[in-house]
Amino acid sequence: MKLMECVPNISEGRDLEKVERIVDAVRQAPGVTLLDYSSDPDHNRSVVTYLGEPQRVVEATLALCGRAYAEIDMTGHHGGHPRMGAVDVIPFIPLGELSTEEAVTYAHALGEAIGAGGVPVYFYEDAALRPERRNLADIRRGEYEGLAQKMATPGWEPDAGPHEFNPRSGASVVGVRFPLIAFNVNLGTTDVAVAKRIADAVRHVRGGYRYIKAMGLALEQQDQVQVSMNMVNYRQTPIHRVVETIRFEAGRHGVPITGCELIGLAPLEAFEETIRHYLQIHDFRTDQIIETHLLG
């Protein structure tokens, strides 16, 4: 069976009634299963996860985008997470027998449809049309506030849609990627400088782990700070290794880990190494879990 997962990130995490109206576009879409959605007021961002037959997923995503562009006005948006548009990023993840190449075709079709509606689109990761646009962070650098200047810079014209800045909706980034795990570690301090130093210790661009993107930010409503991460290849950099590094770095500052957050969904395989490490079941396999066999 050919299936495709989609995990759009929208720039609204505080007005939950608005989020519900946007997510309803997926609930009402035929042939698509809504798996999860969550909102964070400090990030001012929501993450939605759903899957289905690829063309159905494209149609559901177009419906979600239309609703989000109508509901979200980026001219008044503020939050802790980097963003450049109302529907900030739209990754497709091929599942089952769907190939990456086929998923890229669907991603490009979605981007062209969004662009035809008046919102500039960039393609990233496996859907990138230029090598310098594979990395989402490179595309998003400057964020919404710097988008007009970025779009006017030679070499940074959008891949689809208008080349003029859209103040209300910003731009959307569409791509195809390996399953990403959004994983946060909360720290028992209000000193955001500590979170930023620890994020620098684990993130790849500062000499940390190759497959980790991280930033430190304040969770003002919780009176603590967070190391917020995207783990882009859990096979190469397992979860427990990063958590233990953060624990060690936090200990140098006399700061405890108060908890971790998994945002959205993650493959069961990603937790094999974590179980082996913490429970010391060195030959553990996910096929030893009963539900694995029930899922087939």
Q: Catalytic residues, which ones?
A: 81
Question: Helix (H, G, I), strand (E, B), or coil: what is residue 163?
Answer: coil
Q: Report how far residue 112's alpha carbon sits from residue 65's, in angstroms, rounded to the nearest whole number.
A: 13
Rounded Cα–Cα distance for residues 104 and 92 (Å): 8
Q: What token pair was written down for 42?
A: 């400090």
Dihedral sign from CA coordinates of 68, 69, 70, 72: positive
Q: What is the SS3 assignment for 20?
A: helix
Single out the residue of 287, 2, 11 nearest to residue 173, CA to CA.
Answer: 11
Residue matched to tokens 């990023």: 89
Q: Is 160 helix (H, G, I), strand (E, B) or coil?
A: strand
The one-letter amino acid code at 213 reads K
What are the residues whose beta carbons fall under 8 Å from the beta carbon of 271, sequence distance 6 or more? 239, 286
One-letter identity of residue 44: N
Count of Cβ atoms closer than 10 Å to residue 164 Cβ: 12
- Of the CA atoms within 13 Å of residue 75, those in its CB half-sphere come to 4
